[in-house]
Amino acid sequence: MLPPIFRLTFWLSLAALTSAAFTPARAEDGYRLWLRYDRITDEPLRARYATALQQIVLSTPTGVDSPTLAMAREELAIGLRGLLGPEVKITVSNRSTVELPSWAELKSWYDKYRNPPEFYTLRHEPSDRVVISSVSDIGVLYGVFALLRHVQLGLPLAQLDTTSAPKIQRRLLDHWDNLDRFVERGYAGQSLWEWFYLPEIRSPRYRDYARALASVGLNGVVLNNVNANALILTPVYLRKVAALAEEFRPYGVRVYLTARFSAPLEIGGLKTADPLDPAVAAWWKAKVDEIYTFIPDFGGFLVKANSEGQPGPQEYKRTHADGANMMADALAPHGGVVMWRAFVYGADVKEDRVKQAYSEFMPLDGKFRDNVVLQVKNGPLDFMPREPFSPLFGGMKKTVMAPELQITQEYLGQSTQLAYLAPMWKEVLEADTFASRLVDLDNARQGVLIASSPTATVAHVADGTLHQLPLSMIVGVANTGSDRNWTGHPLAQANWYAFGRLAWDHTLTSEQIADEWVRLTYGSDPKVVATIKKILLGSRETVVNYSMPLGLHHIMAEGNHYGPGPWPIANTTRPDWSPPYYHQADALGLGANRTATGSNALEQYAPQLATLWGNADTVPENLLLWFHHIAWDHQMKSGRIFWDELALRYQQGVNEVRVIQREWDSLKGLIDNERFTEVKQRLVRQESDARDWRDACLLYFQTFSHRPLPAGVEQPAHDLDYYKTSVIRFAPGHPGAK
């Protein structure tokens, strides 16, 4: 171990390397994300800041420097030098010199979110001193990023004083990255993790990645794919994982791994992976102990079991709880958690696929250990452009649940098309589950007093406040890769940013987040800000309109999931992988009947919702075909018949892309040419893709409706056969690419 002074020098020199890595290779390649720190061009504003920000105190209980505080100082120095010019005096001090929030204030945060260490307080003192304080170094680093954001956004210093704490404890990115660097459903190049070169050779990008995570308050990362490879748990790979963990640690980012359930067979030499077999439990315990020798702050395991070919406890006639608890017991002594995925559906398709996760897991409520988190996709199916929230959020009351959101746009145009996803996530997070609050023995035993709450939204489930559970977590499937701009589509950076901001504070609005991101990424020219914000905010609904409007779902092309494919998949043994299973088109109409006369998926929701959504006249129109089979001549709210409405929605989607194109074109000369051109080209492709969606879907559904396209809908460019036979080959991110 180096003496402290050398350690500090070491960290600082690494930090210098990091900052150098953020200098773009060419003018505007997007590498700097939202951490640009370009000089403020409004001179009076810059001068005001420069006067007011002459001294910054980083205050922690110890007042002693650490790797994290070194990063905080470095970030501040780089940031303020870039934004303002003159050097700022930065000191580290202990708590005695500044006033922290009162104990009562802290306690109320703690009681609410059980998560005090990461909060920060910013205070602008009349003596032109800014104090950033926390009870932890990472809290101070978050405060530094908040101060820099404040200045980048040009906000008045009078508004600086604030205390902020994350509402959710564990805020993670999940990478679906394979050891060969292929990223499943990744559209931004290869995996960032260069496994072959690790642990000795460490790309400066590791630091830059962790820095970006910390800047939006994310604190964990699952490095590898849920379709897992047990090799990651062998010492050769654990050494590499430890190197990444070391790179991320100063930024408060903990590492998690996926655990393949059959690992005891594959790398342990056992004959079984039965979770109730003592030898299996002992193997996992020893494996976990070993992992902690490599990575002392290891976060835990993520497991996809008995789903899409992944092994799991059911092979041994054991439940998901048996499997999860066995791993949880191994992790508990170290403070680790198991994230067990609820994305399961049987190969035998006995029941409507959207009902299966609920049927499987509801009976297990209350049977999981305290350190098990059930990771639940936002909707009951699979990251469609629009789904109702998963009924598990309203159903389970004794199980910690983490919403799993997909940042990578598997079903929303990948990184070719534009879809700003904050509005989609907010729709889920703000959905009222109508779940009743739990006052039960467990809580009474813990002495937890449950206050009444007006609503029981998915966000209240996620942040743990609804049922007062001890853990809280939210997870986003990453859209990052080795592309120089990290996310492929330049505007898809906004989704990474938005996920982090919402994970920290789910009460932020989509509009606020878009406003921040645009200013940080493209500057504060009012026309640029207004135009890009408008483009972003409507973009998800536009994708819905031209791909799966009115509650349609799962009608995308087979395998690569990119373009349209509403027709049956030839030769499939699984009806639930074939789109007609979901749209049920026939001579009468379109849509899945999930009311009591159909699969009755509605019964999995609270009675209030089942009633509202069970009636075709009261269900929100955007979920109509999710729950109802609608006659082609059904009268819609617009006064049009359903077929005409459907066709016009598709057309509207195409029209909206054209509007976006015009709006983007109006930015020429106002933003840099590189990013302008990159987005412009993608929008040309998106317009053509949108037409394909419209034409392919309408031609196919027309074979059932036998009705003409209404006025206002353009005639298709080709016949149906053309679309059915246009197969996209070698699509990025598709595991079976051919």
Does the annotation count 87 as an active-site position? Answer: no
| Closer residue to ligand GCW in complex, CB, 503/556 | 556
> How far are the Cα atoms of 145, 470, 581 from residue 373, in angstroms, in the given order?
29, 10, 31
Residue 176 contacts ligand GCW per CB under 6 A = yes
Among 34, 109, 251, 343, binds ligand GCW (CB under 6 A): 343
Nearer to ligand GCW, 341 or 691 (CB): 341
Site for ligand GCW in 544-603 (CB under 6 A): none
- Closest CB 478 distance from ligand GCW, rounded Å: 12
Distance (Å, rounded) from C-alpha 287 to C-alpha 238?
Answer: 11
Pairing assessment for the beta strands 630-631 and 589-590 based on DSSP bridges: antiparallel
- Which has the closest alpha carbon to 515: 496, 534, 493? 534
Residue 142 vs 343, nearer CB to ligand GCW: 343
Catalytic residue among 28, 184, 410, 427: 410
> CB of 377: closest distance to ligand GCW in angstroms?
7
Q: How far is the CB of 382 from ligand GCW (least distance, A)?
A: 5
Considering only residues 394 to 413 of the shown chain, the ones binding ligand GCW according to CB under 6 A are 410
Dihedral Cα 79, 80, 84, 88, nearest 10 deg: -160
Residue 304 binds to ligand GCW (criterion: CB under 6 A): yes
Quote the least distance from Cβ 404 to ligand GCW, whole Å.
Answer: 8
Class of residue 296 by CB neighbours under 10 A (exposed 0-12, middle 13-18, buried 19+): exposed
Contact in structure between 561 and 410 (CB atoms under 8 Å): yes
* Closest approach of ligand GCW to the CB of residue 472, in Å: 21
200 is catalytic: no
Gap between the Cα atoms of 78 and 90, Å rounded: 12
DSSP track, 179-217: TTS-BTT--SSS-S--TTTTTTS--THHHHHHHHHHHTT
| Residue among 75 and 410 whose Cβ is closer to ligand GCW | 410
Closest to ligand GCW by CB, 226 vs 424, is: 226
Q: How far is the CB of 249 from ligand GCW (least distance, A)?
A: 27
Share of the chain residues as helix, strand and coil, in percent rounded to the nearest 5: 45, 10, 45
Smallest distance, ligand GCW to C-beta of residue 735, A = 6
- 700-729: burial string, b at 16+ Cβ within 10 Å, e else: bbbebbebebeeebeebeeebeebbeeeee
Q: Contacts by 116-119 with C-beta closer than 8 Å and gap 24+?
A: 116/165, 118/142, 118/165, 118/166, 118/217, 118/219, 118/252, 119/163, 119/164, 119/165, 119/166
Q: Which of 372, 438, 431, 432 is nearest to 399 (CA)?
A: 372
Looking at beta carbons, which pairs linking 652-656 to residues 24 or more positions away fall under 8 Å? 652/545, 652/546, 653/542, 653/543, 653/544, 653/545, 653/546, 653/547, 653/549, 653/690, 653/693, 653/694, 654/546, 654/687, 654/690, 654/691, 654/694, 654/714, 656/538, 656/541, 656/542, 656/545, 656/546
Q: Which of 190, 227, 443, 584 binds ligand GCW (CB under 6 A)?
A: 227
Residue 226 binds ligand GCW, judged by CB under 6 A: yes
Q: Pattern 250-289, binding to ligand GCW, x per CB under 6 A?
A: ----------------------------------------
The one catalytic residue in 322, 352, 382, 645 is 382
Does 57 sit near ligand GCW (CB under 6 A)? no
Q: Is 353 in the site for ligand GCW (CB under 6 A)?
A: no
Q: Which is nearer to ligand GCW, 176 or 486 (CB)?
A: 176
CB of 335 to ligand GCW, least distance (A): 26
- Can you tell me the distance from the alpha carbon of 273 to that of 312, in angstroms, rounded to the nearest whole number? 8
The residue from 75, 352, 360, 382 that contacts ligand GCW (CB under 6 A) is 382
Number of residues that bind ligand GCW (CB under 6 A): 11
Active site annotation includes 194: no
Nearer to ligand GCW, 322 or 404 (CB): 404
Burial of 444 (0-12, 13-18, 19+ CB in 10 A): exposed
Pattern of binders to ligand GCW over 407-446, x per CB under 6 A? ---x------------------------------------
Pairwise CA distance, residues 614 & 269, whole Å = 52
Q: Using the rule CB under 6 A, is 361 a contact of ligand GCW?
A: no
Report the C-alpha gap between 212 and 33 in whole angstroms: 8
Please report whether residue 185 would count as binding ligand GCW according to CB under 6 A: yes
E strand or H helix at 163: strand 162-164
Pick between residue 184 and residue 678 the one whose CB is nearest to ligand GCW: 184
Query: Which of 426, 430, 549 shows the shortest CA–CA distance to 499?
Result: 426
What DSSP string runs through 538-585? Answer: HHHHHHHHHHSGGG--S-BPTTT--SB--SPPTT-S-GGGSTHHHH--
How near is the Cβ of 576 to ligand GCW at its closest, in Å?
13
Does residue 184 interact with ligand GCW by CB under 6 A?
Answer: yes
CB closer to ligand GCW, 540 vs 734: 734
Q: Is 551 left (phi over 0), alpha (psi -120 to 50) or beta?
A: left
Chain centre distance of CA 516: 18
Q: How far is the CB of 232 from ligand GCW (least distance, A)?
A: 15
Closest contact distance (angstroms) between CB of 365 and ligand GCW is 22
Cα–Cα distance for residue pair 678/681, rounded to 1 Å = 5
Catalytic residue among 308, 440, 665, 719: 308
Query: Rule CB under 6 A: is residue 360 a binding residue for ligand GCW?
Result: no
| 477: three-class secondary structure by DSSP | strand
Q: Judged by CB, which is closer to ligand GCW: 183, or 456?
A: 183
Based on CB atoms, which residue is closest to ligand GCW, 278 or 736?
A: 736
CB 439 within 8 A of CB 451: no
CB-based closest residue to ligand GCW: 382
Nearer residue to ligand GCW within complex by CB, 483 or 558: 558
Catalytic positions, written as ranges:
308, 382, 410
Binding site for ligand GCW (CB under 6 A): 176, 184-185, 226-227, 304, 308, 343, 382-383, 410
